[in-house]
Structure 1
Amino acid sequence: MGLHGKLVAAIESKAGGDVVHDFFRHTPHDVPTATQYVHGCDLIEGEFGHAGSIICWTYTHDGKQRKAKELVETVDEEKKLIVLKVLEGDLLELYKNFVITFHVEKKGDDIDLVTWTLEYEMLNEDVEHPLTLLSYFIDITKDMESRLVAKS
């Protein structure tokens, strides 16, 4: 029926993939200091950087204040991969389910790519694919990278 979708974007890391992964995994509560788009990251349950934890994000997307409560489904340190499943929030007004994967991968010997994958199921055929949200994650990555490069 065409209600399932998957969008992927990969951008080259200037700060180094390990640095970006460590920042997003261990200190997501510092993301609001790196970008104007994220306003809060509250730990609801568990421990930052660990599977099974629940995090609540407050952010601005498409000019509107939004919230997302997410389960950290997977953390794979070896693969530099984090999978977040949306449990509650604005996205579930349009999508039956929504999963966000953050992944750092090597391209050759000296290039790291920060990859965002959005997998979702739309509630109905009138819902648009979340292209602006994918662009949003690219913007956040650029902001985080600028902060991390400036610190080094």
Structure 2
Amino acid sequence: MAAKTAGEPMSGKLEAEVELHCSPAKFYDVFRNTAHHMPNHSPTHIQAVQVHEGDWDCHDTVKFWIYTCEGKLEVFKERVEYDDAKRTVKLNGLEGDVMKLYKVYNVIYEFVAKEDDNGEGKQQGVAKLTIEYEKLKPDVPPPTKYMNFITLLVKEADASLVKAA
């Protein structure tokens, strides 16, 4: 096992962007109002979403996700925050498999419209993905596998939403 360098940071941020083919407003609406349908939009990655505390569309609701990351079934309990003006969803990690590695684990999805440059009047955009994290131990790797997971989840859900339109 390779030793980690002494200067490797204990916390950080990973960022990625995914081109959306459906409307960013529609994608945000799925997270905001119908997250229980995510297993239908991304069955490869999401097996179930359940409300643990609160209501589906309330700010500060606690949700429990069952998902598959790199072929392994995992769970994630989070408290959600919404910013309707910016179409941003923030999942603040509370419990689950990922919390065995990270003291802080927050996933931020921001759905941003871009100018229509194809002349067809379609409102496309990008999903800006961010993971904020703080490791429990120095030898824990950055959550790159989870960034890959949410990138693939967004791509699969985007394709489903386009097909459903």
TM-score (norm 1): 0.94
1:88 alignment partner in structure 2: 95
- Aligned partner letter, 1:64: K
CA distances 1:119-149 after superposition (whole Å, capped 9, x unpaired): 0001111111111111111111111111111
Report the counterpart of residue 102 of structure 1 in structure 2. 109
**Counterpart of 1:68?**
76
Is residue 115 of structure 1 aligned with residue 128 of structure 2?
A: yes
- For 1:146, give the aligned amino acid: A
Aligned to 1:27: 34
How far apart are the structure 1 equivalents of 2:107 and 2:57?
Answer: 15
Residues 10 and 138 in structure 2, CA contact (< 8 A), matched pair in contact too: yes
Gaps of 5+ in 2: 1-6, 117-122
- Corresponding residue SS for 1:60: strand
Any idea what SS the aligned residue of 2:58 has? coil
Contact map agreement 1:49 1:75 (CA 8 A) in 2: no
Q: Following TM superposition, by how much is the alpha carbon of 1:33 offset from its aligned partner in structure 2, in angstroms?
A: 1.1
Runs of 4+ in 1 over 4 A off after TM superposition: none
- Corresponding residue for residue 59 of structure 2: 51
Distance 1:52 1:144 in 2: 23
Any idea what SS the aligned residue of 1:134 has? helix
Identity of matched residues, %: 29
Contact 1:57 1:68 in 2 (8 A): yes
The amino acid of 1:57's aligned partner reads W
Q: Deviations over 1:96-118 (max 9, x none)?
A: 11111111123445541111110
Q: Please say which structure displays the higher CA radius of gyration.
A: 2
Gaps of 5+ in 1: none
- State the distance in 1 between where 2:147 and 2:126 align: 15
Letter in 2 for 1:44: H
Q: Is residue 107–residue 131 contact of structure 2 (8 Å, CA) maintained in 1?
A: yes
Report deviation, 1:26. 0.9
The residue identity in structure 1 corresponding to 2:126 is L
Kept after mapping to 2: 8 A contact 1:55/1:71: yes
Write the distance in 1 (CA, Å) between the matches of 2:156 and 2:96.
24
CA RMSD in angstroms, aligned pairs only:
1.3
Query: Residues 65-94 of structure 1, C-alpha deviation per residue, up to 9 Å, x if partnerless?
Result: 10011001x211110011111100001110
- Give the CA deviation at 1:28: 0.9
